[in-house]
Amino acid sequence: MSSIRIIVGLGNPGKEYERTRHNAGFWFVERLGLARGVAFKKDNHYQALVGKDGPLWLVMPQTFMNASGRAVQMLTGFFKIPAEEILVVHDELDFAPGTARLKQGGGIAGHNGLRDISQRLGSHDYWRLRIGVGRPPAGRDGADYVLEKPPAEEREAIEGAIARALELVPQMLEGDLQGAMQKLHTQDKPVDKKPEEKKPEVKKAEEKKPEPKAPEAKKAQKPPTPPPAAKEEDTGLLKGLLKGLTGKKK
């Protein structure tokens, strides 16, 4: 079994980039160096910050990300280190913060640092430790996203993934990379980015308009009472009076 002889953390040099997502590889190597008591020195020949712990090299290229392969090519070429003994640590958009994955070979997934390393080594067979930083929100450019500082909750999750991976470095150095990979992949605690839930709008109670009253039913009108029939006596009297007025006699 091949053991890891060089660990390369990817990032961009300079204060303005040191806390950005794209520097997750630097964060890992810095913490590993601190834990193992390794002092880093700027090596102009390799154009990198370099530290040594016995046979193990710790490297942080000081060129920008798209030229990361320069330091890797020079170091591995001089010390005759094959691709399968190289571990490259980098940020990974495809995994949520809190996730770390270990694998050998594969594609570069649009990562400029990996592209340059693969081109200069002429191989994809090096190991990768991928530190999840999450995908950008819809409509955001990935290149801009990785150059931003993650919020506190995401940074904490990323640091947690780094801490779990650091615990497995001794196993990697012993050559048991498959065992380290299996253990790492069962310890992930990713942070899911949940979209903010919109509270339903509370509609104001509509004022109820008073219902129109049903028109009152009109009382049924009684037909007019006909005048009482004239009595016979009154009729005769009336006829006599009329004759008297006209002067006619029987």
Q: What is the pLDDT of residues 129-145, one digit of tens each?
A: 999 999 999 888 999 99
Q: At 120, phi and psi to the nearest 5?
A: -75, -35
Please, which residues bridge with residue 90 across strands? 130
**Could you say which of 22, 45, 90, 185 is catalytic?**
22
- Residue 130: inside a domain, yes or no? yes
Sign of CA dihedral 77, 44, 109, 94: positive
Task: Supply 75's token pair.
Answer: 């170091």
Contacts of 66 (CB under 8 A, 6+ apart): 112, 113, 115, 116
pLDDT at 139: 86
The distance between the two most distant Cα atoms of the chain, rounded to a whole number of Å, is 169
Q: Give the pairing of strands 56-61 and 48-53.
A: antiparallel
Q: Would you say residue 224 lies in a domain? A: no
Instruction: Write the pLDDT tens digit of every residue in 72-91.
Output: 999 999 999 999 999 999 99
Q: Which residue has the higher pLDDT, 68 or 227?
A: 68
The two tokens of residue 185 are 């992949």
Please indicate whether residue 22 is annotated as part of the active site.
yes
| 51 part of a folded domain | yes
The CATH number given to whatever domain includes residue 135 is 3.40.50.1470
Distance CA 75, CA 166 (A): 23
Over the stretch 185-204, which tens digit does the pLDDT of each residue have?
A: 997 666 665 554 545 555 55
Q: Percentage of residues in the chain with pLDDT exceeding 90?
A: 69
Cα 113 to chain center, whole Å?
A: 24
Q: What does the pLDDT read at residue 224?
A: 56
d(CA 227, CA 123): 128
Is 192 a member of any domain? Answer: no
* pLDDT score recorded for residue 2: 77
Of the pLDDT bands very low, low, confident and very high (cuts 50, 70, 90), residue 250 is very low
Kindly tell me if the per-residue pLDDT of 122 is higher than 80. yes
- Average pLDDT taken over every residue of the chain: 85
Binned at pLDDT 50, 70 and 90, residue 4 comes out as very high
- 3-state SS, residue 181: helix
Please report whether residue 79 resides in a domain.
yes
Min mean pLDDT across 43-57, 86-100, 164-178, 217-231 is at 217-231
> Of 35, 43, 84, 77, which Cα lies nearest the Cα of 60?
43
In a domain, 1, yes or no: no
Residue 94 placed within a domain: yes
Of all helices (H) and strands (E), which one includes residue 72? Answer: helix 69-78
What residues make up the domain containing 137?
Answer: 6-185
Strand stretches in the chain, DSSP E = 6-9, 41-43, 48-53, 56-61, 86-92, 100-104, 127-132
The answer to the question of residue 113 being in a domain is yes
7 beta partners: 58, 87
Number of domains within the chain: 1
**What are the two backbone dihedrals, phi and then psi, of residue 53, each rounded to the nearest 5 degrees?**
-130, 90
